Amino acid sequence: MFDLNDVAVFVQVVRHGSFAEAARRLGLPPNTVSRRIQQLESQLGTRLMQRSTRKLTLTSAGQDFHDRCAGLIDGLAAAGQALAAGGQEASGLVRVAAPADFFDFFPMEWVADFLAEHPLVKLDFVLSDAAADLIAERIDVAFRGGVLRDSGYVGRRLATRSAGLLASPAYIARRGEPKSLQDLAGHDCVTPSTPTGHTTWRLTGPDGVEEEVQVTGRFTGNTAQALRRAALAGLGIAQLPPAMATRDEQAGQLVRVLPQYEYAGRGLNVVYPSRKHLPLAVSAFIGLVMGKLDQMDVLK
């Protein structure tokens, strides 16, 4: 198999009519250019040009070879230049894997602003609570909750703050407001499903000491969004991420319960296949998400 670099040198020699001029344009010693042409001829098993002291003349084989490959070499050079130039502006498709409820706490308006700022970028979201195989599914960046286990990918923890306990004003009016953590045992709490029907909440008090209480209720669900809606409907007290509850609190639809207590939650991680040659569009999108969620001090 011949070296494409030798072919590129050959095209330049033909284009400029001499080894010396081609060498000057390529920034190579003339003897190196001559050697590369000889190497190419040896690999092809034919003479490409006749050399004399005054000029170079293509053989019929050389002319045919030049006609076939000159356009391809120019195309490769143009493609490389375009890619290098394109590297200065975010462009291309970014495939994003995220939890099913990602857009419950990440407003679509942020995506619209990002696309307006980067008109050459396209976003393809794959929303699922299952962990995506980044390589097999051609995922550029993934957002995963919980503890990030070693997977061979690059992972970064998003800045987070602790989540809290919330309930609707209607629930508090009907059942009263708990005064201590242990009071929660006598309240309806909306929680993820468990085999026993009981859930242990571990929360940190104002003195920094972690305490726990076993809670139960009449409604359980397997997504944070289901728990939020149950809390809004007055079905009980829920542990909710701040990002999910902020707008409900601002609207007065949910209120804090025992605000002096907080819990760490699951956290959110951003994951991508490799640090090397990260496309500008991917790094720009990662920057958007991290910046927005850090700004909200989000915990998922």
Q: How do beta strands 189-190 and 237-240 pair?
A: parallel
Name the amino acid, one letter, at 11: V
Per-residue pLDDT for the chain (300 aa), expressed as one digit of tens each?
678 888 999 988 888 888 888 888 888 898 999 999 999 999 889 999 887 767 788 899 989 998 888 888 877 776 666 565 555 788 889 999 988 878 877 889 999 999 999 999 999 999 887 777 877 788 888 887 655 555 566 766 665 555 689 999 999 999 999 999 999 999 999 998 888 778 888 888 888 888 889 999 999 987 778 899 999 999 999 988 766 777 788 889 999 999 988 776 556 678 877 666 678 888 889 888 877 766 654 433
What is this structure's pTM? 0.51
- CATH 1.10.10.10 in the chain is located at 4-86
- CATH 3.40.190.10 in the chain is located at 92-160+267-296, 164-257
What would the CATH number be for the domain defined by 164-257? 3.40.190.10
Give the homologous superfamily in CATH for domain 92-160+267-296: Periplasmic binding protein-like II (3.40.190.10)
Domain 4-86 is found in CATH 3.40.50.720: no
